[in-house]
Structure 1
Amino acid sequence: MDYIIKNIKIVDKRKTLKGDLWIKDGIIKKISNHIDAGDKSVINGKGLTLMPSFIDLHVHLRDPGYLYKEDLYTGQRAALKGGFTHICAMANTNPVCDNKKTMEYILNKHKKNNHCNLTQISSITKGLQGKELIDLEEMLKYTKLFSDDGVNVDNEELFEEVLKLSKEMYFTILTHCEPEAEVIKRDLELLENTEGNLHICHISLKKSLNLIKKYKDKGINFTCEVTPHHLFHWNDKYRVNPSFGKKEDVNAMIKGIKEGYIDIIATDHAPHSEEDKLKGSPGISGIEVAFSKVYTVFKENNISLNKLSEMMSYNPSRILELEEALVEEGKRADLVLVDLNQSYSVDSSTFISKGKNTPFNGRRVWGKVMMTIRDGEIVYKD
């Protein structure tokens, strides 16, 4: 495709400017105050903002095994609607993604869909049982991300071993911490001794953030994430892991973002059927409205759109060792066009995701994804 998006505000981690952008053969060809369209197709982006598309390190696609909750097709289409062109799917499928056969089933099915880019995460232990390590050498042929998300690796000696291996074999562990602060403390104490590669999932408590500050201030290298729903909401018994915090916890997360202690925002998109949710399954289906929830919180707390782009695009691209998610000439045209002035009410009946489970129906949010572009192709349009 060969086209120009005109009259836009362009925002990424490093800059804010106004002008036109030319996309040709999947690449950002030119950025300028004015680009002569000639015979090229034109999209008038007046009043809209163009950013790097979003990257999500933490989603649940439920495929294989739970296709009534979600599948690779609906999950990826939902991601595109939310402005995401790269997602990382957790391993708690059925069967668990802990072996070559299951991994290749997922990746082959993904290639047939090919809607957005997918990193499939492998479990750390066989069957998520926390007892025996998987064949790391075999699974490293497919991924560099490993997680027993949904459960902990409670065996301290085993977790210490896998941290050491993560440094030796060059992969990253995404750790699920329940009870949150207690397991974060354990993991960071082990990390200090092993110098492994660690990413802490979905923090929600002030005391967790205090631990993260302590160890980052000591120079220990690791990353961490917060979800949109843990920034957007508090004091609710709606079942989600970890549970919603108090207002003081949310305030701490916002301060942690401003101070640079929290690296990324990841959705923990967790679709469930209505029946499973009534039975107590934890989680929220939220990838389609993630940007809106985050932007609403940032707008209310005077946090810049540049910081949002850093946390939803740039830092995730660095963790995954992708091309830096910036709007620059010569880079891949993975972009999202948003209307920051549009406000709407969350309505899960309009979700592409099979999961309609959210406590946010009727809540007003700011900022709407109008278009998602992957490799220069328009893959979603509002």
Structure 2
Amino acid sequence: MKLVIANGYVVDPAQQMNAGRNVLLENGRIVAVLERSEPLPEDAQILDATGLVVAPGFIDLHTHLREPGQEYKETIATGAAAAVAGGWTSVCAMPNTDPINDNPAVTRFMIEKGRAAQMANVFPIGAVTKGSGGKELAEMGEMKSAGIVAVSDDGRPVPNASMMRRAMEYARGFDLTVVDHCQDSSLSAGGVMHEGRWSLILGLRGMPAAAEDVDAVRDCVLAKLTGAKVHLAHVSTKGALEAVRA
């Protein structure tokens, strides 16, 4: 079966393509990206994509699928289905499960559930520390063999520079990226909104931008020291952005 996605605007960074094109598929696979002036197969079904962007499936680097242990919030199957509905063909699942994904058994469970769902590809991210408690490194090597693609303690930032340095050195040995949620809890504790004029007016405890900046600078310095691959999740402050650019 032949299908042409016609008159769309193709955006494909891998091919450095950003232009109006027609996309030809045979039996569900892309076989050619055609100039609009090129003739189309007469036996092809035409799907008109006028006014639409045609792009490779998106990859979500930070999802909370919650399974195992918190299925009342989300399951791997429902999260993967929702992803596909929105155009995301692959998702990276954070280890904020119960139990925490800090061992190969949980990793394998998540991968098997993802395959069974037959929706978006599910790539587990393992914990940096056991139980995401920040005290002892998790078994990154065993989890890598089981199928994790990166390590993170998600919303529980690695608490001190010494532990983060060891984590980066360990992760580098297994070619794993360290994903960090940059937030110094000693500065943000009890905060419910951004610290500034409105937190003062409303009488609510704010979280200063410095809470993110401090950890971002730490992680960037340690990344250079260790040579590890590091991804700072959801950067939101000028200071953190400047640390990444430095």
**Residue 43 (str. 1) matches residue 47 (str. 2):** yes
Aligned partner (choices 227, 230, 236) of residue 198 of structure 1: 230
Question: Cα deviations across residues 313-356 of structure 1 (Å, max 9, x unaligned)?
Answer: xxxxxxxxxxxxxxxxxxxxxxxxxxxxxxxxxxxxxxxxxxxx
Cα 1:186/1:5, change in 2 over 3 Å? same
- Structure 2 unaligned segments of length 5 or more: list them: 184-210
Aligned partner (choices 65, 69, 75) of residue 73 of structure 2: 69
Match of 1:273 in 2: none
Cα separation, 2, equivalents of 1:49 and 1:191? 36
Shift of 1:167: 2.2
Q: 2:18 aligns with which of 13, 16, 19?
A: 16
State whether residues 124 and 148 of structure 1, in contact with CA within 8 Å, keep that contact through their aligned partners in structure 2. yes
**1:88-116 Cα distance to aligned partner (Å, 9 max, x none):** 01001111011122112111111111201
For residues 174 and 68 of structure 2, the distance between their equivalents in structure 1, rounded to whole angstroms, comes to: 28
Q: In 1, Cα distance between the equivalents of 2:91 and 2:47?
A: 27
**TM-aligned CA distance change 1:190 to 1:7, over 3 Å:** closer
The CA RMSD measured in Å over matched residues stands at: 1.6
1:282-322 deviation digits (Å, cap 9, x = unpaired): xxxxxxxxxxxxxxxxxxxxxxxxxxxxxxxxxxxxxxxxx
Q: Of 115, 121, 129, which residue of structure 2 is paired with 1:117? A: 121
Distance 1:187 1:19, change over 3 A: closer
Secondary structure of 1:70's match?
Answer: coil
Match of 1:90 in 2: 94
Q: Could you tell me which of 160, 164, 170 is aligned with 2:165?
A: 160
Q: CA deviation at 1:10?
A: 1.6
**Letter matched to residue 89 of structure 2:** T
Offset, 1:158? 1.8
Tell me the CA shift for residue 157 of structure 1.
1.7
Determine which structure has greater relative contact order: mean sequence separation of CA pairs < 8 Å that are 6+ residues apart, divided by chain length.
1
1:234-249 alignment to 2 at 5 Å? none
Structure 1: distance between partners of 2:162 and 2:55: 43
TM-score relative to the length of structure 1: 0.54
1:35 CA drift (Å)? 3.9
CA distance in 1, matches of 2:7, 2:224: 49
Partner of 2:77, secondary structure, is helix
Displacement of 1:18 after TM fit?
A: 2.2
| Aligned partners of 1:131 and 1:155 also within 8 Å | no
Task: Tell me the equivalent position of 1:211.
Answer: 243
Kept in 2: contact 1:163–1:196 (CA 8 A):
yes
Larger Rg: 2
Q: Return the alpha-carbon distance in structure 2 between the equivalents of residues 47 and 190 of structure 1.
A: 45
Given the alignment, which residue of 153, 156, 161 partners 1:151?
Answer: 156
- SS for the counterpart of 1:52 is coil
Q: Show CA shifts across 1:154-175 (max 9, x none).
A: 1322211111122222111001
Structure 1 distance, partners of 2:140, 2:53, is 42
Assess, with a 3 A threshold, how the Cα gap between structure 1 residues 53 and 35 changes in structure 2: closer, same or farther: farther
* Secondary structure of the corresponding residue to residue 37 of structure 1: coil
Q: Distance in 1 between matches of 2:33 and 2:19?
A: 10
Q: Secondary structure at the match of 2:21?
A: strand
Q: Distance in 2 between matches of 1:2 and 1:52?
A: 19
Length-normalised TM-score, structure 2: 0.81
What CA distance in whole angstroms lies between the structure 2 residues aligned with 1:19 and 1:209? 35
Picking from 90, 100, 104, the partner of 1:100 is: 104
1:137 aligns with one of 135, 141, 152: 141
> Is the 2:2–2:43 contact (alpha carbons within 8 Å) kept by the matching residues of 1?
no
When structure 1 is superposed on structure 2, of 33-42 and 156-165 the one drifting more is 33-42
1:225-279 Cα offsets, whole Å, 9 max, x none, are xxxxxxxxxxxxxxxxxxxxxxxxxxxxxxxxxxxxxxxxxxxxxxxxxxxxxxx
Map of 1:158-307 to 2, 5 A cutoff?
158-178=163-183, 179-214=211-246
Retained in 2: the 8 A contact 1:61–1:75? yes
| Matched AA of 1:31 | V
Equivalent pairs: percent with the same residue? 33
Deviation at residue 125 of structure 1 after TM alignment: 0.8
The answer (yes or no) to whether the contact 2:126–2:140 under 8 Å persists in 1 is: no
Show CA shifts across 1:169-214 (max 9, x none): 2111001111211111111222222111111111101121122222
**Contact 2:129 / 2:138 at 8 angstroms: preserved in 1?**
yes
Q: Does structure 1 retain, via aligned residues, the 8 Å contact 2:140–2:171? A: no
Q: Is the 8 A contact 1:123 1:134 kept in 2?
A: yes
> What does the per-residue CA deviation read over 1:357-379, in whole Å, with 9 as the maximum and x for residues that have no partner?
xxxxxxxxxxxxxxxxxxxxxxx
2:199 aligns with none
